[in-house]
Amino acid sequence: MKMLKNNIFFKIGIIAFIALLLLIPTGMIKNLIREREATQREAIREVSSKWAGEQTLSGPFVTIPYYKYVKRYSEKDSVNKIVKVRDYLHFLPSQLNINGEIVPETRHRGIYEIVVYNSELKISGSFNNINLSGLDIPLKDIQFDRASISLGISDLRGVENQIVLNWNQDQNLFNPGTISRDIIEKGINAPISVSENDSLVYDFTMKLDLKGSQKLYFIPVGKVTDITIKSDWNNPSFNGAFLPDTSIVDNSGFRANWNILHLNRNFPQQWIGINRNIGSAAFGINLLLPVDSYQKSTRSIKYAILFIAFTFMVFFFVEVLNKVFIHPVQYILVGLALVVFYTLLLSISEYLMFNWAFVVSAIATLLLIIGYIKAILKSNMVTFLIGSILTILYTFIFVIIQLQDYALLIGSIGIFLILALLMYFSRKIDWYNINMDDEKSLDKS
């Protein structure tokens, strides 16, 4: 047993085994982070269920029912019969303009912060492409008196006021639901007057006060779609099929404009029957919270094995260069302190900004480890050296977390420099003639 204790390679194996063993509590903390994220998402869902969820506007579009004649087999008469079936014609606007403002606010559910918003949207445009003559449908079969305009709204609970449609010189109120589910499942509709004359142009305007949570998306149904959105929220994310043509984001908020042609999307301006592919063209805004502590905690714990390995390397070289013996149990205790850092970081970041949580957790862990090392090594110089190295390591991890886009580059350079330093300071060590028995045991001191 004494021979194994004095074997340098046996000691390295023990240290490596302890480092790998510490991956078990590290994995448990990863699961804890995921559980807290799930709890946060549940809190968001709960608030959204009482306020309104993420919103997507589809339309507006004109729907006109018509009759078509199809063959149907009659089991009663055992013959094919011609039957009259109702179907729907759908027309998209030639011009669609949306100008709006998002007024965000934050709500709290327990310790969690959720972004909700009110929006004021002015929707206008025109239909001048209702080409009935090109459909090869007899005009007598088209029910012009039942024409309607529909607007898809993903969560109708967000509609705050009655919506008035101005259709040329006419005014109509919107009703809940849609005449047909060929395009959208949820929305509102209003009756309109449409003539058999293809050359007529129909102008429309409406004002929509809509509330929702986190996201506001649009589907560009116009032959030309022009959307301008502004808000005092200074941390937006532009997502979906299209990015803004122009956007300004500063401390006072953001302003974004999209100009999209019908050629940029994969559905026509008019069709007959079902077409639910328009959702693939959705785009819009996600109102992000300034800091996602769980995302950063997840990124930080990914470096746990690296951090533990470098810390154990420092301790091992202190053993070799200073002729002291650090017991495996002491490695385990220091390793557990390194792991507890991540639980501190996770719990504190739920109440403080992540950066402050990292600083507080790092200082607490450093003081714990430095105090322990001072007690077992009884050397101010070695304690200061280990404390300085751990401080550099924590700073290194902190920088990597902040610079997400350059994390791989900074991390690779940092690991390269650490390896270079280890190689430099160990260049004169005669590994074949190290006698661990000559080291001073801390157990006897």
- Whether 48 maps to a domain, the answer reads no
Q: Six-digit token pair at 160? A: 């705050």
If asked whether residues 241 and 332 sit together in one domain, one would say no
- Whether 419 maps to a domain, the answer reads yes
What pLDDT shows up at residue 332? Answer: 92
If asked whether residues 372 and 419 sit together in one domain, one would say yes
Pairing relation of β-strands 224-231 and 215-219?
A: unpaired
Judge whether 330 and 376 are in contact, CB under 8 Å. Answer: yes
If asked whether residues 229 and 328 sit together in one domain, one would say no
- Whether 103 maps to a domain, the answer reads yes
Q: Six-digit token pair at 439? A: 């080291």
In whole angstroms, what is the distance from residue 134 CA to residue 376 CA?
90
CB within 8 A of 418, min separation 6: which ones? 310
Question: What is the pTM for the complete model shown?
Answer: 0.77
Residue at which a domain ends, from 250, 275, 290: 290
Domain count, the chain: 2
Judge whether 425 and 317 are in contact, CB under 8 Å. Answer: yes
Amino acid residing at 369:
I
In whole angstroms, what is the distance from residue 298 CA to residue 40 CA?
15
- Whether 73 maps to a domain, the answer reads yes
What pLDDT shows up at residue 445? Answer: 41
In whole angstroms, what is the distance from residue 122 CA to residue 364 CA?
54
What pLDDT shows up at residue 1? Answer: 45
In whole angstroms, what is the distance from residue 299 CA to residue 316 CA?
27
- Whether 47 maps to a domain, the answer reads no
If asked whether residues 347 and 416 sit together in one domain, one would say yes
How far, in Å, are 98, 241, 354 from residue 257 at the CA level? 10, 14, 33
If asked whether residues 261 and 350 sit together in one domain, one would say no
If asked whether residues 71 and 23 sit together in one domain, one would say no
Residue at which a domain ends, from 290, 315, 340: 290
Peptide bond into 60 cis (omega under 30): yes
If asked whether residues 282 and 343 sit together in one domain, one would say no
If asked whether residues 209 and 76 sit together in one domain, one would say yes
Tens place of pLDDT per residue across the chain (445 aa):
444 455 677 888 888 999 999 999 999 999 999 998 888 888 888 888 888 899 999 989 999 999 888 777 666 666 677 777 888 999 999 999 999 999 999 888 878 888 899 999 999 999 986 777 777 788 888 888 899 999 999 999 999 999 999 999 889 999 999 888 888 889 999 999 988 876 789 999 999 999 999 999 999 999 999 999 999 998 899 999 999 999 999 989 999 999 999 999 999 888 888 877 888 999 999 998 766 788 888 888 888 888 898 888 888 888 877 777 888 898 999 999 999 999 999 999 888 888 899 999 999 999 999 999 888 888 888 888 888 989 988 998 888 888 777 778 888 888 888 888 878 877 777 666 665 555 444 444 4
The DSSP secondary structure of 105-119, one letter per residue, reads: EEEEETTEEEEEEEE
What pLDDT shows up at residue 3? Answer: 47
What does the angle CA 422 – CA 426 – CA 430 come to, to the nearest 5 degrees?
A: 155
- In this structure, the chain runs to a length of 445
Q: pLDDT tens for residues 325-372?
A: 888 898 999 999 999 999 999 999 888 888 899 999 999 999 999 999
- Whether 328 maps to a domain, the answer reads yes
Query: SS3 string of 285-317?
Result: EEECCCCCHHHHHHHHHCCHHHHHHHHHHHHHH
If asked whether residues 402 and 259 sit together in one domain, one would say no
How many CA atoms lie less than 13 Å away from 83 in the CB half-sphere?
10
Quote the domain boundaries for residue 339: 2-40+294-441
If asked whether residues 392 and 418 sit together in one domain, one would say yes
Q: Six-digit token pair at 177? A: 């639901």
- Whether 45 maps to a domain, the answer reads no
Residue at which a domain ends, from 270, 290, 310: 290
The DSSP secondary structure of 239-267, one letter per residue, reads: EES---SEEEEETTEEEEEEEEEGGGSSS
Q: Six-digit token pair at 287? A: 């109102």
Q: How far is CA 201 from the centre of its chain?
A: 42
How far, in Å, are 273, 297, 391, 422 from residue 401 at the CA level? 51, 9, 15, 24
If asked whether residues 219 and 115 sit together in one domain, one would say yes
CB within 8 A of 158, min separation 6: which ones? 51, 52, 53, 55, 210, 211, 212
In whole angstroms, what is the distance from residue 317 CA to residue 426 CA?
8
If asked whether residues 314 and 406 sit together in one domain, one would say yes
- Whether 384 maps to a domain, the answer reads yes
